[in-house]
């Protein structure tokens, strides 16, 4: 079935659409409400010819500054350009190497906010991205109490989501595609798109579970599905609070006229939770760590995600010191 409106336009009526890229020139045509960045996306953008002038401008403005400090200025420079395009918020990530250090994470987050505010940007327009580790979640608790809003990322499990909700984090970014990648690799030849795709996609079902948990227990934290591998995963989550989507998949949605149906609604939350037999989770530190540890997929993907962001942060610093 098709519509006279593009699939992207229809999706925007059900869900807030966010651009997942550091390439601000490219995001303009999709008119997203917000935008998200991460060290990998900023590294990718900083290597593009069209952004060399911006990178050089920041380097010239701060001669002799250590690459690790310069990286913060680069992240914020891209964020400032993005905020000229999106009417809403930009997400900027704290150095992933601080994922297990609450105090250092809080300090870095405040530094990033101060850089934005020095350019006249209201902190309400910035989300500080933190890894969904116990330490990151405790940092979010402290930051939110000071009006610094957090986007909890590298989120792969209900226990991480529940803990983020309990500290009143502004927003969580459950990763869809990376969950699916793990199950695909695990099942190997036994993976079957007919059985494991669409509504049964493990990444999709994970976000649905989180959505139902939040809506049933009255948790106000926003849910933003992230890390999509295809448009099917996106459309299966139509109705989620927000979805952050790469330019490649935004293009596909813009070029399609397929009918979009609402798949997630608060009205069905309590029944869906009862069907899955999910009760409120215990969220003290030892319970959190045990539940996360007992979820092999979430443990492995969280560790891998932090490692990869650390590598890309170091690559960005190498690029800046070149």
DSSP per residue over 230-276, as a string?
SHHHHHTTTTSSEEEE-HHHHHHHHH--B-------GGGHHHHHHHH
Given 129, 208, 215, 301, which residue is catalytic?
129
Burial (CB count <10 Å: 0-12, 13-18, 19+), residue 59: middle
- Pairing relation of β-strands 16-20 and 171-174? unpaired
**What is the C-alpha to C-alpha distance for residues 187 and 190, in angstroms, rounded to an integer?**
5
**What is the C-alpha to C-alpha distance for residues 72 and 75, in angstroms, rounded to an integer?**
5
Q: Is 168 a catalytic residue?
A: no
Number of H helices, E strands in the chain: 16, 8
Q: What is the CA radius of gyration of the chain?
A: 19
**Residues acting as catalytic residues:** 129
């Amino acid at each position: 079935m098709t519509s006279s409106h593009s699939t992207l336009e229809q999706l925007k009526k059900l869900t807030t659409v966010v651009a997942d890229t550091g390439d601000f020139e490219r995001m303009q045509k999709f008119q997203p409400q917000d935008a998200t960045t991460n060290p990998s996306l900023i590294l990718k953008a900083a290597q593009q010819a069209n952004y060399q002038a911006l990178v050089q401008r920041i380097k010239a403005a701060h001669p002799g500054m250590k690459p690790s400090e310069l990286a913060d200025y680069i992240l914020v420079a891209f964020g400032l350009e993005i905020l000229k395009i999106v009417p809403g918020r930009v997400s900027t990530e704290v150095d992933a190497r601080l994922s297990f250090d609450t105090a250092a994470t809080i300090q870095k987050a405040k530094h990033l906010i101060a850089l934005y505010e020095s350019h006249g940007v209201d902190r309400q327009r910035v989300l500080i991205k933190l890894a969904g580790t116990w330490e990151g979640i405790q940092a979010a608790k402290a930051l939110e109490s000071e009006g610094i809003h957090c986007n909890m990322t590298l989120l792969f499990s209900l226990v991480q989501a529940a803990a983020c909700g309990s500290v009143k984090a502004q927003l969580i970014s459950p990763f869809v595609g990376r969950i699916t990648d793990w199950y695909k690799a695990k099942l190997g030849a036994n993976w079957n798109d007919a059985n494991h795709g669409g509504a049964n996609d493990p990444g999709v079902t994970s976000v649905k579970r989180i959505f139902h948990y939040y809506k049933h227990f009255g948790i106000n934290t926003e849910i933003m599905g992230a890390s999509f591998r295809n448009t099917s995963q996106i459309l299966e989550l139509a109705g989620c609070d927000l979805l952050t989507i790469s330019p490649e998949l935004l293009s596909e949605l813009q070029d399609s006229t397929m009918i979009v149906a609402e798949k997630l609604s608060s009205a069905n939350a309590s029944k869906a939770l009862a069907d899955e037999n999910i009760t409120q989770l215990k969220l003290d530190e030892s319970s959190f760590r045990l539940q996360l540890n007992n979820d092999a997929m979430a443990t492995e993907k969280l560790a891998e995600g932090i490692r990869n962001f650390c590598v890309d942060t170091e690559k960005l610093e190498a690029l800046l010191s070149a």
